[in-house]
A = this chain, B = another copy of it.
Amino acid sequence: MSIDYILEPSPDYACKFINTKKSSQVIILYGNLSAKYEGRARAELELAPRIVITKPDGTLMIHESSKREPVIWNPPGSTFYALSEYGILIIKSVRPSPKEYVTIEVPVIHFIGAFNVGVSKSYKVHGSEEDLRNYLMNNLHIVEDGLKLISKEYHTQVGSIDLLCEDKNGNYVAIEIKRAQAGPEAVHQLKRYVEYLSNKFQNKKIRGILVAPDISASAFKYLRSYGLEFRRLRSTI
C-alpha cells in the first residue's frame, strides 16, 4: 500500500503519470494553475496555487483554501486526460451531457500523488427521511389514531406521495414527511398531491397531513389556507 508520488515533475512525466493512473487511482495534484469552465455556465480562474483531485469515475475537482465545494469541477461520468503542450501540463475534462468542459493549465507542478482508495459499498446514512417514513409506516398511530396504510411512495404524475392512508372515517389521507423544518415548498407539494387525489377519487374526501419536526411561519399560513393539516413530529430516530 505504498503511494506513488513525485515532487516538481516535468510536464511530460506528470502527463504520463496522470494518464496511466487516472482510471484506477485518486490523483491529487498541487501546482500553480489557471482553469476554465464552460457549459451550463462559465467561469475562469487566474493562475494561482490550487489543488486538483481526480477520481477513477471521472470526477474532477479544483479546490481552493476555503469552502466545502470545489471552485470548478466536472462530476462523475466525465472523462479527462492530460497532455503536455509547449512544456505545460494541460488537463482537459469533458462531461458528455450536458456538454461541459473544464480545461486546466498547470505551468508549475509542485506535487502529484496517486492513491489507492476504495468505496464503501455498505455505506448508509441513518436518520434520513426514508428512515422516518419507514418508521411512521409501521407506527401510523403516531400521526393519527385509526390510520390504515394504503401505499407508501405512491407514485403519481405529480410526484410520489410519501404515505397514502385511509382514516377511520374512510377518507384518504396523503402524508408528506419532512425530516427538517418544512417550508412553503413542502406545503405546495402536499397540496399538489391532495389535488391530484381529489381529482382521481372524486367520491372520496381527501385530507393532507404534513409531518415534520417544525414548520416555518409562512409555510403554516399556506397550510391553513389550503385546509391542510400539520403534525409536529420530532424525529427521534
Contacts and interface: CB of A to CB of B under 8 A. Distances in A.
Contact of A59 (B28, B57, B67, B185): B67
A106 to B, nearest CB: 13
A192 B225 CA distance: 12
Given A3-B111, A50-B117, A157-B218, A128 B65 contact: no
Interface string A12-35: 000000000000011010101000
B111 A49 contact: no
Contacts of A7: 3
Nearest to A32: B1
A117 B63 contact: yes
Interface residue tally of chain A, by bracket? Answer: 35 or more
A30 to B, nearest CB: 5
Interface stretch (A118-126, A134-142, A203-211): A118-126
Contacts of A56: 65-66
Q: Which of A49, A122, A128 has the largest number of chain B CB atoms within 10 A?
A: A49
A136 B125 CA distance: 43
Nearest to A75: B68
A152 interface: no
Interface of A: 1-3, 5, 7, 25-26, 28, 30, 32, 40-43, 45-46, 48-51, 53, 55-57, 59, 61, 63-68, 70-71, 73, 75-76, 108, 110-111, 113, 115-120, 122-128, 157-159, 179-180, 184-185, 188, 192, 218, 222
